[in-house]
Each structure stands twice: as structure tokens, then as C-alpha cells.
């Protein structure tokens, strides 16, 4: 782990600790990958220093944050949260679209993690 | 719900959270058709913290104005009254959620995401249905679960029990609240909204966001928040403390007059707008399928 001033931070660096703002509100979680967007966001919150994982910490065998979950697992979990819907057309459609959006979001996150 | 019980609970909460005075004065000014941008700027300029925040927000990449906005007056001209009021209300409410103690920190943060998500969703639904007062829906969405903050901050012991029940029985938080408190976050939030003198329909919508059929003349607004809440649960935007996703009440669905075919557009628009706004107000903490541990 090393401490960096935010101006030195680069996209794809992995946070070694949570970043909170003055109100102790969590801005970014440990393990998150930096990108242009969230670096800008941290700047706007006045964050000055970040702790970054050094190369040796992030060995290639690190488990991805999703723990190997795939689209089917996500769909199953969502289905369980909705419960049985019978022939409720409205809720079935909400479930269908939401599942699609969440699986998509998940793949995008994956792509970011993979660099 | 027993009124006596609710009063007893509120009696235990001596100092209910307050909104900054400035936010009240701003609401007054905006509600008065005779006020000008200068009146509004005058009130904001009196409050240094709000002024600094407002300027920081309008100069953030979210708005992407090419030149630096140095004065409150200019910010008002560019963004308009309603947008400024929303920004100030949002950052003030954000403080309530952030709180100062570290207890239930993660819960509060997830509730913030859920609330902001509902505000965005309510706005998107309102725009789609051509509701005249979209900003009012945003405020209702932002505050609908404010009663839960009162529980987390002032009724910590009860809230811990409620959370345990929700987890053990995988039930809705309102059920557990009825068991432990004898009333729900909707009742507590309603009381708070009234103490804050928030204009109609905000207190009524807060009270009926889980029972829109009982909202009387405000059924459309209550139904909008009811649906926004379901959308945010479905989209996994933050968490209000329980995992399950309730079915929309038939009366709420018919009050809105939406078609099944509208849902795809609405949900995708909410997803896009929420990602934009949350990355500027606060970082999205990534996709979590486990709303509550
Ligand atoms: Fe609620
Ligand atoms: Fe909610």
C-alpha cells in the first residue's frame, strides 16, 4: 500500500482503503478501481490523499469483486427478491427490464475491473 | 396505528432533526410569484456554507458549464429557481443522512442512495406523465423514507431490533416496525415533514407512499413515489433496509394510467439519470445484490 496525493492518482489504480468525505460519508470503497470520472468526483469533494494498493498487493490471483458471479446468478437473486409474481404482467415486465439493466451494469463493471 | 403510541415515540425524540433556516426561507421565496432572482440570491448569500456548496456544485463537471460561475446570482440565472431549491434541499438533506456518528453508517449511506434514486425515478415518471409539478415529486422521493433516519438516529435500539426481524423473517420493514414500534417510518416521516412545514403534498405523500390508495386527492403523487420505490428496489439502487420487492398496488397502477409497454423506457431512463447524478453528488458504490447484511 502507498499513499499518494490525489493529483498523482491515475486511472486503474486500486484503492487500498475507503475514502470518506468530511461528513464521514463513504465516497469510494476499498478495492474500487479509479477512473477519470471518480477521480474528478474525489477532487470535487476536496479529497487530497488516497491510499493505493501497490503492485505486489494486487497479485493476479486476487478474486474479482463479483466473486465469480455470472448473469444467471444475478437473475436468480433478483427473482428471489421479487417472489412469485403469478400473472402480474406489470411486475413481470419490471423484473425483466431490471434484470437486463443489472446484468449489463455488472458486465460494465467487469470490463472496468479488467482494465 | 395507535396515535398514542406514535406520540409516545415522538415524545422520546426530543430534538427532531431540523432543516437549515435558509432552506425554509428559500421555499418561501420560491413559492411567492413576486420574488426575483435577486431576492433568492440575497438569502443564499447570507449563508456562507450553502453559498460555497452551491458554487462548488454548479461548477462541477455534472453541469459542465464552460466558464466558471462565480456568483450565486449567475447560478440562479443559469439553472432557474426550482433547480437551485432542489440542489440546496438535496445537500441539506444529505447532511441529515450523513450524520456525525459512525453507527449505522452503511445503512444510512444505502438509504441515501435509495432516496436519491427515488427522487430521480419520481421525476422521470412525472415527466413521462406530464405532471405539472415535477420538482415537487423530486422532493417527495428524496424525503419519502425520512422516518427511517429518525429511527436510525433517535431510536437506535428499536431500529436494531427492527433490522434483526427484517433479516430473520425476510419481511418488509413496515411489518417489523409495526411489531416493534406500533407505527411505521411513514407515520414518523409524516410528522417530521409537518414539523418542517413542508408544503402539501409532501407530508401526505410521505405518509402514504406504501398505501397510495389512502392518499385521497394526492393519489397520483403517492402512486408515483410508490412506483419509484419499487423501481429503485428492482434496479438495486441503494437500499431502504429490506430486500424484498413488493408488487405495485392495483389502485396505484390505475391512478397513474401507465401501460406495461412504458416500463422499459422508464426504467432505462432512471438508470441513466441516477448514474449521472450520483456520480456527482456521491460516488456510486458499485452494484450490490445484497442490500442488507
Ligand atoms: Fe418506505
Ligand atoms: Fe423507500
Q: What is the CATH number of the domain that holds B150?
A: 1.10.3210.10
Burial of residue B64 (CB within 10 Å: 0-12, 13-18, 19+) is exposed
Q: What is the mean pLDDT of chain B?
A: 84
**How many other C-beta atoms can be found within 10 angstroms of the C-beta atom of residue B252?**
23
Provide the pLDDT for residue B251.
96
Q: What is the pLDDT of residues B102-136, one digit of tens each?
A: 677 888 888 988 999 999 999 999 999 999 888 88
C-beta separation of B226 from B125 below 8 A: no
CA distances from B255 to B29, B62, B138, B151 (A): 32, 34, 19, 31
Is B151 among the domain residues? yes
Alpha carbon distance B24, B29 (integer Å)? 9
ipTM greater than 0.90: no
Q: For residue A59, what pLDDT is reported?
A: 41
Q: Is residue B132 part of a domain?
A: yes
CB neighbourhood size of B202 (10 A): 24
CA–centroid distance, B81 to ligand 1, in Å, is: 28
Q: What is the pLDDT of residue B55?
A: 85
Domain count, chain B: 1
Distance B51 CA to ligand 1 centre (A): 32
In a domain, B208, yes or no: yes
> Smallest Cβ distance to B98: which of A25, A85, A98?
A25
Residue B290 lies in a domain: no
Among the residue ranges A106-110, B201-205, B280-284, the one predicted with the least confidence is B280-284
Residue B246 falls inside a structural domain: yes
Tell me the Ramachandran region of residue B150: left when phi exceeds 0, alpha when psi lies from -120 to 50, beta otherwise: alpha
pTM above 0.95, yes or no: no
Q: Tell me how far apart the alpha carbons of residues B156 and A60 are, in angstroms, rounded to a whole number.
A: 42
More confident residue, B233 or B24: B233
In terms of CA atoms, which chain A residue is nearest residue B278?
Answer: A41
Between A28, A65, A93, which is nearest B260 by CB?
A: A93
Across the strands, what pairs with B130? Answer: none
Q: Which residue has the higher pLDDT, B241 or A2?
A: B241
Angle at B76 between CA B205 and CA B145, to 5 degrees: 20
Q: Which chain A residues are within 8 Å of B60, Cβ to Cβ?
A: 44
Q: For residue B9, tell me if it sits in a domain.
A: yes
Query: Residue B202: inside a domain, yes or no?
Result: yes
Domains along chain A with CATH numbers: 2-114 (3.90.105.10)
Structural domain that includes position B59: 3-285
CB contact under 8 A, B260 and A89: yes
pLDDT tens-digit map of B60-84: 766 777 888 889 888 888 888 777 8
Nearest chain A residue to B268 by CA distance is: A101
Report pLDDT digits (tens) over A64-114.
444 445 778 888 889 999 999 999 999 999 999 999 999 988 777 667 666
- Write B171-175 long-range contacts (CB < 8 A, 24+): B171/B242, B171/B244, B172/B242, B172/B244, B172/B246, B173/B148, B173/B240, B173/B241, B173/B242, B174/B210
A74 contacts B244? CB cut-off 8 A: no
| DSSP conformational letter for B103 | T
User: Rounded to 5 degrees, what are φ and ψ at A27?
Assistant: -95, -45
Amino acid at each position: 500500500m502507498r499513499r499518494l496525493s490525489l493529483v498523482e492518482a491515475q486511472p486503474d489504480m486500486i484503492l487500498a482503503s475507503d475514502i470518506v468525505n468530511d461528513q464521514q460519508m463513504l465516497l469510494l470503497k476499498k478495492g474500487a478501481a479509479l477512473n477519470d470520472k471518480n477521480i474528478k468526483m474525489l477532487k470535487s469533494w476536496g479529497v487530497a490523499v488516497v491510499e493505493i494498493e501497490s503492485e505486489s498487493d494486487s497479485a493476479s490471483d486476487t478474486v474479482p469483486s463479483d466473486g465469480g458471479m455470472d448473469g444467471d446468478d444475478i437473475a436468480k437473486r433478483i427473482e428471489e427478491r421479487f417472489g412469485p409474481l403469478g400473472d402480474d404482467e406489470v411486475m413481470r415486465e419490471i423484473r425483466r427490464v431490471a434484470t437486463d439493466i443489472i446484468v449489463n451494469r455488472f458486465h460494465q463493471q467487469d470490463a472496468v475491473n479488467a482494465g | 396505528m395507535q396515535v398514542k403510541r406514535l406520540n409516545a415515540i415522538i415524545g422520546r425524540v426530543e430534538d427532531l432533526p431540523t432543516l437549515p433556516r435558509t432552506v425554509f426561507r428559500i421555499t418561501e421565496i420560491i413559492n411567492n410569484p413576486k420574488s426575483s432572482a435577486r431576492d433568492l440570491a440575497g438569502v443564499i448569500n447570507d449563508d456562507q456554507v450553502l453559498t460555497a456548496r452551491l458554487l462548488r456544485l454548479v461548477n462541477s463537471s455534472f453541469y459542465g458549464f464552460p466558464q466558471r460561475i462565480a456568483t450565486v446570482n449567475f447560478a440562479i440565472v443559469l439553472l432557474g429557481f426550482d433547480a437551485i431549491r432542489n440542489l440546496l434541499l438535496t445537500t441539506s438533506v444529505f447532511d441529515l443522512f450523513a450524520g456525525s456518528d459512525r453507527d449505522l453508517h452503511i445503512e444510512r449511506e444505502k438509504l441515501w442512495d435509495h432516496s436519491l434514486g427515488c427522487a430521480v425515478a419520481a421525476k422521470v415518471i412525472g415527466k413521462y406523465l406530464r405532471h405539472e409539478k415535477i420538482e415537487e415529486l423530486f422532493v417527495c422521493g428524496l424525503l419519502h423514507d425520512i422516518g427511517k433516519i429518525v429511527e436510525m438516529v433517535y431510536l437506535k435500539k428499536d431500529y436494531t431490533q427492527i433490522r434483526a426481524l427484517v433479516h430473520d423473517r425476510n419481511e418488509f420493514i413496515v411489518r417489523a416496525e409495526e411489531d416493534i414500534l406500533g407505527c411505521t417510518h411513514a407515520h414518523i416521516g409524516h410528522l417530521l415533514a409537518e414539523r418542517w412545514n413542508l408544503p402539501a403534498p409532501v407530508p401526505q405523500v410521505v405518509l402514504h407512499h406504501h398505501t397510495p390508495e389512502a392518499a385521497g386527492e394526492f393519489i397520483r403523487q403517492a402512486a408515483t413515489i410508490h412506483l419509484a420505490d419499487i423501481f429503485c428496489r428492482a434496479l438495486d439502487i441503494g437500499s431502504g433496509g429490506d430486500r424484498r420487492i413488493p408488487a405495485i398496488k392495483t389502485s396505484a397502477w390505475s391512478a397513474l394510467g401507465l401501460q406495461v409497454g412504458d416500463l422499459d423506457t422508464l426504467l432505462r431512463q432512471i438508470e441513466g439519470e441516477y448514474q449521472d447524478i450520483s456520480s456527482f453528488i456521491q460516488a456510486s458504490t458499485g452494484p450490490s445484490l445484497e442490500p442488507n447484511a
